[in-house]
Amino acid sequence: MALFFYKWTTLFLLPFVTLGSVSKTSALAKAPHPFYVSVTEINQNSSAKTLEISCKFFTEDFEQAIEKAYKAQLDISLAKDKGSFDKFIPDYISKHLSLVVDGKQATLSYVGFEKEKESVYVYFEVSNISAVKNMSAVNSLLHDFINQQINIMHVTIGGKRQSTKLDYPQTKAAFGF
């Protein structure tokens, strides 16, 4: 009985045990996690006539995708790398996220990014949007990083929220309001 209890607690508690401080480049820090998910929120601000867009990623996944795409060693939490991220993020996102609003290609304007614990948020805005009847999106964010990527999209227009989940390799979504 004691042996069973020991094996069970070891298997159950092992994933929760931390092994002290781990550097970013260690093998443990680069270990895969069970889910690869991004969340893109698109909200209409009717008073400003804009679409406000935020994309949330796991920090490590987003850093690695940017490093791979631009062949650069970067750390999003370091002030010295902020300029590089401000240059690479809008370019990367424009290659992997596009919106068509009522038949017209939307231009995403970069607002900035922020790191919060294990997540990074990137912000964009689309101007001159007074109303939205239909929106289509192509979202391949982090597909170039891992083929297990799941991209969740939430779109809120006129108080109505619609959501979809895009499992790799699916990239296209459509919303009607």
Q: What is the pLDDT of residues 109-146, one digit of tens each?
A: 999 999 999 999 999 999 999 999 999 999 999 999 99
- Computed over every residue of the chain, the mean pLDDT equals 86
**Per-residue pLDDT, 34:** 81
What's the chain's length in residues? 177
**Per-residue pLDDT, 30:** 55
Q: 114 near 120, Cβ under 8 Å?
A: yes
Domain spans of the chain?
36-176
Q: 130 near 49, Cβ under 8 Å?
A: yes
Q: Which of 122, 118, 148 is nearest to 24 (CA)?
A: 118
pLDDT exceeds 80 at position 5 = no
Q: Give CA–CA dist 141/102, Å, rounded.
A: 23
In terms of C-beta density within 10 A (0-12 exposed, 13-18 middle, 19 or more buried), how is residue 78 classed?
exposed
Q: Residue 8: which pLDDT band, with cuts at 50, 70 and 90?
A: very low
Q: What is the pLDDT of residues 52-78, one digit of tens each?
A: 999 999 999 999 999 999 999 999 999
69 vs 28 pLDDT, higher one? 69
**Who's near 37: CB < 8 A, 6+ residues apart?**
58, 149, 150, 151, 152
**Per-residue pLDDT, 19:** 33
**Per-residue pLDDT, 11:** 36
